[in-house]
Amino acid sequence: MHHKNLFKGNLSVREMNKWFELFLGLVLLVFAILVGWASDAYTWTIFGKDLNFLHSAWVFLKGAVFWFVVMVASLLIVLGVNDLRE
Q: DSSP class of residue 48?
A: T
Per-residue pLDDT tens over the stretch 15-62? 678 888 899 899 999 998 888 788 777 777 777 777 776 666 666 555
> In the chain, where are the structural domains located?
16-85
Confidence of residue 8 (pLDDT cuts 50, 70, 90): low
Q: Which residues of 6-41 are buried (b: 16+ CB within 10 A; e: fewer)?
A: eeeeeeeeeeeebeebbebbeebbeebeebbeebbe
CB 25 within 8 A of CB 74: yes
- Could you tell me which residues are beta bridge partners of residue 45? 50
- Section 53-78 average pLDDT: 77
| Residues whose CB is less than 8 angstroms from the CB of residue 39 and which lie 6 or more positions away in sequence, other chains included | 51, 52, 53, 54, 55
